[in-house]
Structure 1
Amino acid sequence: MSQNDQAQLVEQTPRVSAGGGSNQVRVRAYNERLVLSLVRQNRGYSKADIARMTGLSAQTVSVIMRSLESDKLLLRGEPVRGRVGQPSIPMYLNPEAVFSFGVKIGRRSADLVLMDFVGQIRMQKHRTYRYPHPDHLLPFICEGIAEMEAQMSEEHQARIAGIGIAAPFELWNWAEEVGAPDGAMEIWRTVDLQAEVASRMSHPVYLRNDATSACGAELVFGAGSQHPDFVYFYIGSFIGGGIVVNSSLFVGRTGTAGAIGPLPVRDKHGQTRQLLDIASIFVLENLLRERGIDPQPLWYAAEEWIDFGEPLEIWIQDTAAALAQAVIAAVSIIDFSAAIIDGGFPDWVRSRLVTATVEAVNRLDLQGVVIPEIIEGAVGAQARAIGGASLPIFARYLIDQTVLFKEIENAEGN
């Protein structure tokens, strides 16, 4: 996460008082976020559940939930009977209540999605290119959003929370690897993508690193509820990743924690290389070119990959061997319960890669190492765009996992 990103999120998030939720009117907006966040994480919670988890009074919770229902942010489920007293009424987020746009900027392709309040993609657009450049990315984003808005009702348009962009840091790096002309990527040293989009659109715009965004999507919409601590690998044009500790993203002092691309690993020839030089899709692209196979299907759409046969299997085995070393290195530092692997490829490729990684881990010297569960990501190829789309929603309606769990712990300790 960039310093600008961190500063913006701080500005958008209300200050939190210690010791659980507050009944004071001045922090009512925060308590609403707290309720929405708990309902999002625990579908079907009742008012009694919320009061117990937050430490708020039953009367305060009733007032908040009535307000959220009135604003159509919450929906009532069918009453649950069978207990003493009044029946329990489960509450759910209303998918139609809030929408946001998510943008993924990759080194070979871009995606634009419209996401609803529960993380479902309603519309999407995809564009491929030789290399990313502001002259074609800005029209793709702004015109694409305008086209999507034109298909929405006025009521839904009024419920757009904003635009979240997931993009790699320092896009000008590795220009040679993606085959960009000399100097063509240098423009990114001076372009502020967030500011450029904001100047053209009426919605607030948020920015976060692409791999961190993908990890955040996995935390919120994927395996995060089952694994409070995990190391995350997302394989795009270049591999990136993230770290989740105590059910919250850990970005570190400079915002680069979990940027596992530079991690040193040994290749099949015994040479030490960076992980990104082995476990990245651009490596598969080069393998295909060397064999006279058109690599363009890699970038059309993740679900449209074909089985490229021998070069794909070589890439899977080499990538798995490198990932296995990265997993062992990660759990040697932090005792992660899981290592999650995802990427911009079809489910069947992800499945083969995870299976090969498990096999590669079992071939290593594991003395003194507790092997984590190595699993497939649950969000998929659109994880970066979904993570971007979640930024405006969290900024306006929800609270992050760290604060949420602290509130629950405080309430339970009182």
Structure 2
Amino acid sequence: MHDLRTIRAKSGTNQEGTSAHNRRVIIEAIRLNGSLSRADLARATRLTKQTISNLIESLEVDGLVASQEVVRGARGQPSTPYRLVPEGAFALGVQIDRHLTRVVAVDLMGHEVARVVANLPPGGPAEGSKLILHLIDTVRRDLVARFPESVHRLAGLGVAMPGPFGLPPSDDDTWMMAQWQSFPLVETLAAGTGLVTSLQNDATACATAERMNGAADGLDHAVCIYFGYGIGAGLILGGELYTGSNSNAGEIGMVLFSRGGTQSPLEHRASLASLFQHLGLDSATTEAYADVERLTLAGDPRILDWIAGAAADMRQAVHMVETIFDPQTVILSGSAPGPLANRLFEAMFPLLPSNADRPDRSLPRLQIGMIGLWAVALGAAAEPIRRAFDPRFSAILKDAP
């Protein structure tokens, strides 16, 4: 029996017409806590036992939850725990970077089940989108071959690419993907796949991945600083991802920082792109990432010099987001080579004093999260799962899909 178990869950509502929200509440509670009985769920969500029973039966019919063996305790009635079925839903994610694209499929738990990567062809987004659609088709065929039922269980397609979005394109700004910014990407991929398609910037995608399976899992207030070709911040505020009025919230890479009497955007000083420039590497090739990893492991003085300056700026960035957003923790994640990210993370300490420097903290002010070339793509794929199954206030208002 689990009578004394502390269960992380949002409250459901017993009002009529709110089953969509209540289904999401149950799915999230089981995802966060593992298998739960109907009594566990009723106690944690404050829903009636009858409501829980009806919803569990509905989720079982839909293939999203399954019962496990009956648990017999020393006292009370036997209970039946319920678990999520990973194969109950799937989603696809696409990362579009400056020179390559990655496509990944995940299950209901956000675990990767198929992937493919390719260099983007010349010809801009018109040709690049054709390649992406081909790669999506390849991953879908692989997915169906392994899980035949997935053909009817795709929650949607998530896309992630560098922001900011909606600004006037500038071909002179090599940090922005000007042609891709002005291309009808979401519409093209939605039409080509028949899937509901959404777009995030790469920092928000990393935050989505951290919220599902990473250091932000179960947290209501966290800031994920993205360290990749560029720099950004994914914001988890009040238990939900916050993207702003133009999907550009958290673009801290655009904030001007001063060093040595000069001002420049943070991502011009502390991103992978700035390191590539510092080393004279061609970022158009994947070999640049391998070179950075090799040089980092070798303790190359040029790498160490760059880290010293970048860490000072990133320390300021942590102080800034702590002061503005008051998160439970700040998470460093992204698509940089692991050895480099780890060295940068270590060099950021000690952190600057801030409002977050409290004696009663249960989480570190700064921690390292998901680091790797597939972090953004996994976050992009997690977005359709989040939209379909995470509790949101809009679901109560019947505004959520």
TM-score range, shorter chain: 0.7 to 0.9
For residues 211-230 of structure 1, the aligned pairs below 5 Å read 211-225=203-217, 227-230=219-222
1:14 aligned residue = none
Q: Which moved more, 1:197-206 or 1:369-378?
A: 369-378
State the TM-score, normalized to the length of structure 1.
0.80
Q: What is the deviation of 1:48? A: 1.1
How far apart in 2 are the matches of 1:274 and 1:299?
26
Q: Is the 8 A contact 1:21 1:56 kept in 2?
A: yes
Q: What is the deviation of 1:299? A: 6.1
Kindly, what percent of the aligned residue pairs are identical?
A: 29
Give 1:128's match in structure 2, choosing from 115, 119, 123: 119
Give 2:41's match in structure 1, choosing from 47, 50, 54: 50
* Cα distance, 1:204–1:257 mapped onto 2, change above 3 Å: closer
Q: Is the 8 A contact 2:160 2:201 kept in 1?
A: yes
* Cα distance, 1:247–1:380 mapped onto 2, change above 3 Å: farther
| AA of the residue aligned to 1:155 | E
How far apart in 2 are the matches of 1:303 and 1:149?
33
- 3-state SS of 1:345 partner: coil
Give 2:331's match in structure 1, choosing from 321, 330, 340: 340
| AA of the residue aligned to 1:44 | S
- Deviations along 1:2-29, one digit per CA (max 9) or x if unpaired, are xxxxxxxxxxxxxxxxx842363x4434
For residues 2-401 of structure 1, the aligned pairs below 5 Å read 20-22=12-14, 24=16, 26-129=17-120, 133-151=124-142, 152-153=144-145, 154-170=148-164, 175-176=171-172, 178=174, 186-188=178-180, 190-225=182-217, 227-267=219-259, 269-289=260-280, 298=286, 305-308=293-296, 309-359=300-350, 361=351, 366=353, 370=357, 373-378=365-370, 380-400=372-392
- 3-state SS of 2:252 partner: coil
| AA of the residue aligned to 1:262 | M
Would you say how many aligned residue pairs link Structure 1 and Structure 2?
374
How far apart in 1 are the matches of 2:108 and 2:290?
24
- 3-state SS of 1:306 partner: helix
Q: Provide the aligned C-alpha RMSD in A.
A: 3.2
| AA of the residue aligned to 1:213 | A
Q: What is the deviation of 1:120? A: 0.7
User: Structure 2: any 5+ residue segments left out of the alignment?
Assistant: 1-10, 359-363, 397-401
Q: What is the deviation of 1:369? A: 6.6
* Cα distance, 1:133–1:236 mapped onto 2, change above 3 Å: farther
Q: Which moved more, 1:245-254 or 1:120-129?
A: 245-254
How far apart in 2 are the matches of 1:131 and 1:80?
60
Q: What is the deviation of 1:177? A: 5.6
Q: What is the deviation of 1:95? A: 1.0
1:15 aligned residue = none
- 3-state SS of 2:203 partner: helix
* Cα distance, 1:251–1:351 mapped onto 2, change above 3 Å: same
How far apart in 1 are the matches of 2:159 and 2:174?
21
State the TM-score, normalized to the length of structure 2.
0.82
- Deviations along 1:348-393, one digit per CA (max 9) or x if unpaired, are 322211111114x3xx5x3777276211014644332222212222
* Cα distance, 1:204–1:227 mapped onto 2, change above 3 Å: closer
* Cα distance, 1:297–1:305 mapped onto 2, change above 3 Å: farther
Q: What is the deviation of 1:201? A: 1.4
- Deviations along 1:57-90, one digit per CA (max 9) or x if unpaired, are 1122112112212322112334333242223333
Q: Is the 8 A contact 1:162 1:392 kept in 2?
A: yes
* Cα distance, 1:189–1:388 mapped onto 2, change above 3 Å: closer
* Cα distance, 1:321–1:226 mapped onto 2, change above 3 Å: farther
How far apart in 1 are the matches of 2:118 and 2:303?
23
Structure with the bigger RCO (C-alpha within 8 Å, sep 6+) is 1
| AA of the residue aligned to 1:319 | A
Q: What is the deviation of 1:337? A: 2.9
Q: Which moved more, 1:337-346 or 1:298-307?
A: 298-307
Q: Is the 8 A contact 1:210 1:384 kept in 2?
A: yes
How far apart in 1 are the matches of 2:64 and 2:161?
30
* Cα distance, 1:376–1:130 mapped onto 2, change above 3 Å: farther
How far apart in 1 are the matches of 2:46 and 2:291?
46
How far apart in 2 are the matches of 1:75 and 1:46?
11
How far apart in 2 are the matches of 1:396 and 1:336?
25
